[in-house]
Amino acid sequence: MATEGTQPKLIIHGGAGSSLKGKGGAEAVRQSLYSVVEDAYALLLAGASASEAVIRGCQLLEDDPRFNAGIGSVLQSDGQIRMSAALMDGLKQRFSGVINVSRAQHPIGLAEFLQSAQDRVLSDHGAAELLRELQLPPFDPMTELRLQEWIQERQGNFTRRMADIVAVDPVPELVFQDESTARRGTIGVVALDSAGHLAAGTSTGGKGFERIGRVSDSAMPAGNYATAEAAVSCTGIGEDIIDECLAARIVVRVTDGLPLLSAFERSFTEAQQRQRDFGAIGLDATGTIAWGNASGILLAAYHNGEQIGDTLDISREKTFGVG
């Protein structure tokens, strides 16, 4: 339960993938993630709530064209970008989100607004209407790299399961290896504030090349969930995450008394038996940081109150861990 004077904790992710080609690639991703961790963790130290730090972290990741959320989102099969995002405040145990919104700079900002609305999850038309109501200027999140990726994929008749997790250029080493396997891009932030409250946020451009109308896990409790006891954000193949109801599964296990690491261990052991393809990050109210990885590599970084660490050099053989 919440305790005033808690040491704040933070963990973020920029997706999961098969593997990074070169050390240069890992270093560039690490720098991006660390700068977001530093910024959002400083907010927590200054007394911001977990939700405020989560929103800030998500916005920064949405602003980084390297990651598949906000600017730099992948294109769907018809060449359009449709993004989804969710915010869950653990203290209020309240979920809000947008599904398949276009022309927004910060989908997480819409989820933030919806936290205090009567109707808390809006899909395409409703989300577009909300953008207009809030008088947010239309924003085109498409980048040249994502467009080129889509054009290439169109020539191959959309045979890949997902788009690249991180945008390819100008750092060629950032391409994930093994073109035959899926790529899993999403961003997420989980925070514990100094009042002992938790929050989780997740934002994505989706899988890339998907059918129009496909709904991502990121704006469902399967992909993003928080209570007073634990908070989790997921990344990976949305359909796998939904089938496991992963974020809610882990959080409910903690709420029912299982330690966070055991909840990750059990959930990822089950997931591997079913050949799932995803990763997750989480925190509990005691400040335990945990992550799980059923893909090749999880792009996660955290601040444990003493230092920043990351999971970039940890391969699939180590399925879960603590920060």
Active site residue 186: yes
* Interatomic CA distance for residues 91 and 115, integer angstroms: 12
Contact status: 279 vs ligand GLY (CB under 6 A): no
- Decide: is 301 part of the binding site for ligand GLY (CB under 6 A): no
**From the list 107, 238, 321, 323, which residue makes contact with ligand GLY (rule: CB under 6 A)?**
238
Alpha carbons 49 and 77: distance in angstroms, whole number? 38
* 158-187: contacts with ligand GLY (CB under 6 A): 186
**Rounded least distance, CB 278 to ligand GLY, Å:** 7
CA distance 100 to 111: 12
First to last CA, the chain: 20
Total binding residues toward ligand GLY, as defined by CB under 6 A: 12
The active-site residue out of 186, 204, 235, 311 is 186
> For the chain, where are the alpha helices, taking DSSP H only?
23-45, 50-63, 107-114, 124-133, 144-155, 238-244, 246-255, 260-273
Between 212 and 322, name the residue whose CB sits nearer to ligand GLY. Answer: 212
**Rounded least distance, CB 120 to ligand GLY, Å:** 20
Q: Does 224 bind ligand GLY (CB under 6 A)?
A: no
CB of 14 vs ligand GLY, minimal distance in Å = 12
Q: Which neighbouring-strand residues pair with 242?
A: none
Q: How far is the CB of 184 from ligand GLY (least distance, A)?
A: 6
Residue 216 touches ligand GLY, criterion: CB under 6 A: yes
Q: In the Cβ-directed half-sphere of 217, how many Cα atoms lie within 13 Å?
A: 30
Q: Which residues are annotated as catalytic?
A: 186
